[in-house]
Amino acid sequence: MIIRNLVLRNFRSYDFAELSFDKGLNVIVGENAEGKTNIVEAIHYLSLARSFRTAEDANLIREKSDFAAIEAEVSEGSTKKKINVVLTSSGKKVACNGKAINRLSELSELVNVVVFEPPRVLLFKESPKARRDFLDISLSKQSSIYLEYVTKYERALRERNELLKLDKPNEVQLEIVTDLLIEVAEKVVRYREMYVEQINQVLSKIVTTIKGEQENARIRYQPFARPDASFKKNAKSAFSKALESDLRKKVTSIGPHREDFKMSLNGKDVARYGSQGENRILALALTLSPYFLIEDKDKRPIVVLDDVMSELDAENQERLISFLTKFEQVFITSTSLEVKNASVYEVKNHKIARRNS
């Protein structure tokens, strides 16, 4: 998957910008606060219709402007798609080749972008929600069916929580909703288990390539009930044990929405024992791993790496750059980075000039 052209109108710091991109490495250089991250933020927005920097779309609209727009031409093999996004104070509109896109699952199939940003170095030390979000977003991009299951689970979860908030919940109704929750939860847990195993097949190879020495990196998924033949029985038992507490706290305390995973390097928990550099490299490797899980090369994601080089030493930088040449298209932002055979975009005073290295 390749993004060929990008047009920004009233997006962040840009009143207007038009860019063309090539396959391979695209390096965006400039001092901090000059607007380089705004460019890759717009590219990523095409994939999820949301920013990796803010939860409020209003923050993406240039000051004193009524709207912001992102236009992009994306190619997938011989197929070309034109994506249009318009943001206003009343909401957003997304279209592909002039046809409105109303569901996130449709958009994620049209444009796939993976992003590494500086806060991701804390992924293994943050709350479990950050790790669940990584799994859910990565899996949803790979499988629209999984996204449907997660949506169904969240719907059933809301219904159960609403019942728990009542002064005297109907026991029969609560049991029915809990059984429905368990039925959908099983599908979510099985998909997560399968996906984690797929990641584990490529993760150590990526870490070894970046670090330049043999490493053993693994994710250890921690489901609330093992996805085996006894799942429903064990899940129902777990919900029964938690019922008294759930009724008292008026919220569902167990299930896929409370699960977690841990990352280990050579058998040691990275969150507890890993250095800052190891956390950074493992978070980067995990970000890149979904790329290799997609068999159809034309559908493999566009890679965005925001300020990835700042904490890596020269040798790790060199190995990473060499590794990134294997990807179809990569965008790297940096305050200063010299890369051979890359397309380089210099950003200064929110103006963009292209040169080839």
- Interatomic CA distance for residues 334 and 103, integer angstroms: 34
- Percent of the chain with pLDDT strictly greater than 70: 99
Q: How far is CA 317 from CA 64, 175, 259, 284, 313, in A?
A: 40, 55, 34, 12, 6
357 pLDDT tier (thresholds 50, 70, 90): low
Nearest Cα residue to 300 out of 82, 76, 146: 76
- Percent of the chain with pLDDT strictly greater than 90: 81
- Interatomic CA distance for residues 8 and 71, integer angstroms: 7
Of 6-15, 218-227, 241-250, 309-318, give the lowest mean pLDDT range.
Answer: 309-318
Task: State mean pLDDT over 44-57.
Answer: 91
Taking only the tens place, the pLDDT of each residue in 322-339 is 999 999 999 999 988 888
Task: State mean pLDDT over 13-24.
Answer: 94
Taking only the tens place, the pLDDT of each residue in 121-145 is 999 999 999 999 999 999 988 888 9
Taking only the tens place, the pLDDT of each residue in 185-234 is 999 999 999 999 999 999 999 999 999 999 999 999 999 999 999 999 99
